[in-house]
Amino acid sequence: MDITGASAIVTGGASGIGAAVVRQLAARGAKVVVADLNAELGEALAQEVGGAFVGVDVTDTEQIKNAVDKAGELGPLRVLVNSAGIGWAQRTIGRDGEFDSAHDLGAFTKVIGINLIGTFDALRLAATAMSRNEPDADGQRGVVVNMASVAAFDGQIGQASYSASKGGVVGMTLPIARDLSSAGIRVNTVAPGLIDTPIYGEGEASEQFKAKLGESVLFPKRLGVPDELASMVIECVTNSYMNGEVIRVDGGIRMPPK
């Protein structure tokens, strides 16, 4: 699918994988809306790529609508990349056998709300706008790429909420792709492995920690970089025959229990 002159939205687009996606979409000729909570980074990136920044908390439907409306001002909205998300790690039960030591239910709900419900909310609203587009020669009106995680398949101890949220994203990919096929909208999901993003911090200790993590990757024995994930997102966007798929980009890693 040719996205030259079209608009795109990237949630969580101000940093990490999302920022790499923003840059690669812009390089393909799209006008990109950076939808993120971080105004400082988001505005700087939007200025860099000639796009626009919209402050978006993906648990707020009205803020997502604002991003969709802004995208429509830049060009026909043909691309949504759902990259916003958070992590959480906590064991299911505590060591003392008390109810109060069990997994924080509020934290579980928050992770699901952002990673899964937020993804679906952005998808349903962006797809509604896409459905109004004129179809291209292939009958396409738009494409959605969701960001899941290998934790959807290989969740580690303590990742119940995160794995559940990303497993939900994986699970809804095919039924939504089937649903939106009548509107000419494709849906794919990318599942990253261990990726070198700002969550690991900076400095010598951080580099040593990342090197240790990289040893568990099948090959190459390192963390992935955001551009490697972004290139797969671009393939999912531009390859018109990619639909209803979940693709792991993980160096062949299969995560151990802990």
Rg of the chain on CA atoms, in Å: 18
Catalytic residue among 162, 166, 172, 186: 162
Dihedral over Cα of 89, 56, 118, 244: its sign: negative
User: Which SS3 state, helix, strand or coil, does residue 148 take?
Assistant: coil
Q: How far apart are CA 170 and CA 78, in angstroms?
A: 21
Read out DSSP for 80-143? EEE---------SS-SS--GGGS--HHHHHHHHIIIIIHHHHHHHHHHHHHTTSPP-TTS--EE
Closest CA to 180 of 245, 135, 130, 134: 130
Paired tokens of 102: 């069990």
Q: How far apart are CA 119 and CA 26, in angstroms?
A: 22
Measure Cα distances from 95 to 103, 158, 242 in Å.
11, 14, 46
Residue 249: strand pairing partners: 192
Q: How far apart are CA 170 and CA 92, in angstroms?
A: 22
- For residue 162, indicate whether it is catalytic: yes
Q: How far apart are CA 206 and CA 212, in angstroms?
A: 10
Q: What is the set of active-site residues? A: 162
